[in-house]
Each structure stands twice: as C-alpha cells, then as structure tokens.
Amino acid sequence: MAIATQTREMNNVEAVREALHDALVNDERVLIMGEDVGARGNVFLITKGFLEEFGPKRIIDTPLAEASIVGVAIGMAMEGLRPIAEIQFADFIYPAFNQIVGEAAKTRYRSNGDYTCPLVIRTPYGGGVRGALSHSVSIEALFYHVPGLKILAPSTPADIKGLLTAAIEDPDPVLFLEHKKTYRLVKGPVPEGHFVLPIGKADVKKEGSQLTVVSYGLYVHQALDAARQLETEDVSVEVIDLRSIRPMDRETILESVRKTRKLLIIHEDNKFGGIGAEIAAMVAEEALFDLDAPIKRLCGPDVPAMGYAITLEEEFMISPERMREAMRELVNF
C-alpha cells in the first residue's frame, strides 16, 4: 500500500475525478464508458475535459443501454483492458443485473482462474437531493448477496480516492457506490500522488466506550455529528465507517462490540434484508453473550421508493435527531 505524505483539500466529487484521472494517466489499459461521460463530462461534470485529454478510444459515450455498457465492459476486461463502466444513477442499474451477477461475478470461478474480470462499475446512489423515485435508490443489498463481487461505499474524499484506485487495480469486478448528497457536501484532506487503501477494511472514525455505531456513506457523517453532540451529555459512542460492504471487516466490528457491548446499525437502504441484517446476524453468532442490549437497526422504511415531496423525503431519510434518540436509548438500556 502506497501512502503519500502531502495532502490537498477537496470534496468527494473532486476525489472521484482525481482517482479516475490518475488511473487514466498511469495505465493505458484504463478507459471510461457510459452515458454522457464524453462530450458533457458526466452528469456531475466528473469527467469534464477527459475526452479532449484522452481521446474517444478511452472516454466512450454510450447509448442509454446499461446492459450493453456493462456487457461490453466485461468483454474488454476479460481481454486485458481495465474498463470503468459508469451507470449514471444507481436506479438505472437494473437492466445490467444479469451482466453483473450472472457474468462478471462468476468469471474467475467458472473459468477455473483462467479468466479474471478487472471491471469497475461506478454509480451514484442515495437520496436527500429531491431526486424522487428514479434518482434516490440504494442498491447495495441487491448485490451484496453475490459471491465474486466486491462492493465499496466510502464516505470521505481520502477514502474515495484510495478505494477507487484500489478498485481499478483489483483483478476482479468491483461495484463502487458514491452517495450523491456527499459529492459537494463533504470535504477533507486527500493524499497527493498514487494512494491506495486496502479493500475490506473498515475505519473507526470516532472511538467510544458505551455504544458501537456501524454505518457507511452519508450516514457516517450524520452519525458522527450525533455522537459528538452526545459527548456533552457524557455519552461515549464509537462510530465505524464500514467503507467496504463486501468483503466486510468482521474483526473491527466484533472488536468494537466486545468493548462497548452495544450495537446500533444505521443505513439508508430499506431495513428488511438490508446490510444491517447481515451485520446483526454476524454479531449474534459471534458475540451474543458479549452484548448488554438488543441489537438495534435504524434504516430506511420498507416502502418502494423515496417520494419527491420534501415531507416524504424527510420521513424516509434518518435525521441526526433520530440518531441521537436511538443512541441515548441504547446507552441507557
């Protein structure tokens, strides 16, 4: 793992852009393909100027055909290229489900290691930006059941650069999730130069002694705000940023739970069958008798989609106030 010593302040979307640009500069096998990634420079302007700098053979505008984007990228990856396939919004990924689950994730296994699929599928996900039914979905639970597929959902600029670089260099397919509300909301120092973080390692963003909170994406930041506010009430909360949904850092979670003896899991995706259910089951299997309270999940409601009206969106999203309330409830249990 290479770690640069100099840092530069940037937001999440700038970290995505820098990781992509560095990969294009450093490896001629890397290319980007997707809807509007060329002339427009991506709907969030992440790849603006890339077409002029790297040319149409490496920055490829595609039709509105997600199954084809991923399917073609799989073929490129199996023949030695390093494609980065962009799904403009996570809500549009469903047509590519078979290519991701039925093809990319199985490539190494079904070829007995003769073929790998070094493919990255990037997509913005999540709500809180008035995106309504077709631009607010969380998709992680639809894919984390699938062996052979890595899923990353970092929350800070440094983690985004380090893990996106790791994903591009990984020999197997990686689904890289970027919470769109954090794109310009979250800023932080980012190491300059080639910077890679290990896939599968969670980060303890804040240490504490009375409660463990496990989250990822946007809610890491809100959980941190809630935990820091509770410090004025002498409540000590440890906040773990999962960063990598699969593989999952079981050891960091279990070590923390065995210290604090209480666990709260927070994620935006629907509660039923979500990532929180897997974490809760794992802790129940491995550390049940270390717990002093029932495991609690604070998640999105089980409704088909997030509404456009601000009242519906706010009802779906979990506020820091609800997080503080849940943290107090568990600490006082």
Residues taking part in catalysis: 135
Asked if 177 contacts 151 with a C-beta cutoff of 8 angstroms, the reply is: yes
* Closest CA relative to residue 20, chosen from 91, 83, 78: 83
* Three-state DSSP class for residue 259: helix
How far is 268 from 312, CA to CA, in rounded Å?
A: 14
3-class DSSP assignment, residue 83: strand
**Torsion angle (degrees, nearest 10) of CA 333, 287, 278, 209:** 50
**What does the buried/exposed string (b/e) look like for 40-64 if buried means 16 or more CB atoms within 10 Å of the residue's CB?**
ebbbbebbeebbeebeeebbbebee
With b for 16 or more beta-carbon neighbours within 10 A and e for fewer, the 149-164 pattern comes to: bbbbbbbbbbbbbbbb
CA–CA dist 111, 231 (Å, integer) = 53
Q: Tokens 């199985």: give the residue.
A: 106
Residue in 101, 106, 81 with CA at minimum distance from that of residue 168: 81
